[in-house]
Structure 1
Amino acid sequence: MTAYAKLTTLDQPGEIACEFNPSTVKVTKSATWHTHPSRHSKAHPRPQFVGTGPQSLTANLLFNAFDRNGRPAATPVPVAVQQLLDWTKPTQISQEAGNSTPPKVMFSWGSLIMIGFLSHVEVDYLLFGDDGVPLRATATVAIQSIPQPTPGTNPTSGGISGRRSAQATQGDSLASIAQREYGDAGLWRAIAIANDIDDPGRVPPGTRLLLPPRAQAVALSAVGGDPR
């Protein structure tokens, strides 16, 4: 079965599925080194490490609603383009809190996963219908990585290193536990997958729940899968 690339927001609902996988994906990361001149040194002075820049990913995405033999596009071209443009704006929650931050997005394609924010979106409309509605477009997107918190290390017996556990209290839901443990209620799905829970609305008090590391929880909540 072919795996298709997708863009998903992690702190608000939203997903764009790519019907045509990008032909190339560029990943870059910079490092800064400084070399101090030495007048009397016979050998070239050794560079001193200063720091690294954020990792970034660039991909060209194709959106097409033309000549599909009657099959509708997974995401209409105007909708997909507008979604990308909207993801370059601060989230409403962060604006209301007075601390404007961009939506966190995840680009996933097989084992290639990048979590960050959209730093650049450039769209070329290639084809229009008789009514002026775009039928085909390419979008060049650049994602700059956001550092992920280092997960705790308190593995349960027989579990995977880095996993923790939490005990549900009266009135807890998976969302409230995710908010308390990860600082993000949207990661409840990862807890449900890790513990084979079908009804995430309420959890019996005293239930001991396995908590995947945060980076893994982000990936699981966005794309689903078996954490084991």
Structure 2
Amino acid sequence: MSPAARSSRARARLTLKEPPAKVGAKPGGTITQLNLQFNPSTLELRKTTEWRRTPSRMAAESALPEFVGSGPRELSLEVFLDATATHDNSVEKAVEKLMKACVPTPKSLSRKKPASPWVRFQWGTSRTTSFDGVMSSLSVSYTLFDVDGRPLRATCSLSIEEASVGPAGQNPTSGARTARSTHTLVAGDSLALLAWQEYGDATAWRAIADANGIDDPMALVPGTELVVPALRDAGDEEEW
């Protein structure tokens, strides 16, 4: 591969943003950004669902499961840091940036609502692995040192858990009838399909269109993040 092709390759980065001032709000301004030296070789994405079964003595095999809700996405990756070519303190500076994601920000402390920064991993056009979250775990292994003890190489293992965007007092994963949630459009999505998945009623797509200011439901752009309102927030269900 030529140097020009290598330099044009999309580089992964981690962005730390000020946490929202209140539940349901968007994150604030950028605190710091870490451009990764090396793109990850592996990304592990996890998401859980919760089901409830009511035992029945009359069931031939087992009772039908009832969907309760879905958990947040969790992204795990390793960040490799290396300063053997420069022998500077860039490794420790990068680790310090990652450590900032694990402690409350000064602004949140001043509001007396301690909260750590929101973190977003971005890599080119990737959508499923790019979301606002909080650092749920971080471990750093220093594997090479300079003659004065300065770390020259490190591997950082971290996990980012998707952050809630629902309003206060509600669980955004408990269903769109009782809470707000968000949905990132992918190719093939339609408002009717989304309404069916969220409400069990494809004709309720107008609620999503109104909440996002969509005039043409056929002109949906993949990658757009839509707010999915609770039906009671959007209006009376009988109007649809």
TM > 0.5: yes
SS in 2 for 1:14: strand
Q: Which sections of structure 1, spanning at least 5 residues, go unmatched?
A: 163-211, 216-228
Are the structure 2 counterparts of residues 107 and 30 from structure 1 closer, same or farther at C-alpha, using a change threshold of 3 Å?
same
* Partner residue, 1:144: 161
Instruction: Give 1:156 deviation, angstroms.
Output: 7.0
SS in 2 for 1:131: coil
Are the structure 2 counterparts of residues 155 and 31 from structure 1 closer, same or farther at C-alpha, using a change threshold of 3 Å?
closer
SS in 2 for 1:26: strand
* Partner residue, 2:82: 64
CA contact (8 A) 1:77 1:136 kept: yes
Q: Does 1:126 align with 2:143?
A: yes
Q: Which amino acid aligns with 1:28?
A: R
Q: How does 1:20-169 map to 2 (within 5 A)?
A: 20-66=38-84, 68=85, 76-110=90-124, 111=126, 112-148=129-165, 150=182, 152-155=211-214
SS in 2 for 1:94: helix
Are the structure 2 counterparts of residues 214 and 130 from structure 1 closer, same or farther at C-alpha, using a change threshold of 3 Å?
farther
C-alpha distance in 1 between matches for 2:214 and 2:59: 51
Q: How does 1:172-183 map to 2 (within 5 A)?
A: none
Deviation track 1:184-221 (CA, whole Å, cap 9, x = no partner) reads xxxxxxxxxxxxxxxxxxxxxxxxxxxx9689xxxxxx
Q: Which runs of 4+ in 1 moved over 6 A?
A: 212-215
Q: Which amino acid aligns with 1:9?
A: L
TM-score by length of 1: 0.63
Q: Which sections of structure 2, spanning at least 5 residues, go unmatched?
A: 1-7, 19-29, 166-180, 183-207, 228-240
C-alpha distance in 2 between matches for 1:5 and 1:29: 22
Q: Which amino acid aligns with 1:146?
A: A
Instruction: Give 1:13 deviation, angstroms.
Output: 2.2
CA contact (8 A) 1:154 1:161 kept: no
SS in 2 for 1:78: helix
* Partner residue, 1:10: 17
C-alpha distance in 2 between matches for 1:140 and 1:126: 13
Instruction: Give 1:161 deviation, angstroms.
Output: 5.5
C-alpha distance in 1 between matches for 2:53 and 2:215: 47
State the identity %.
31
SS in 2 for 1:93: helix
C-alpha distance in 2 between matches for 1:34 and 1:123: 38
C-alpha distance in 2 between matches for 1:155 and 1:41: 46
Instruction: Give 1:81 deviation, angstroms.
Output: 0.6
Instruction: Give 1:136 deviation, angstroms.
Output: 0.3
Deviation track 1:136-174 (CA, whole Å, cap 9, x = no partner) reads 0000010000134659422479xx669xxxxxxxxxxxx
Q: How many pairs align?
A: 162
* Partner residue, 2:5: none
TM-score by length of 2: 0.60
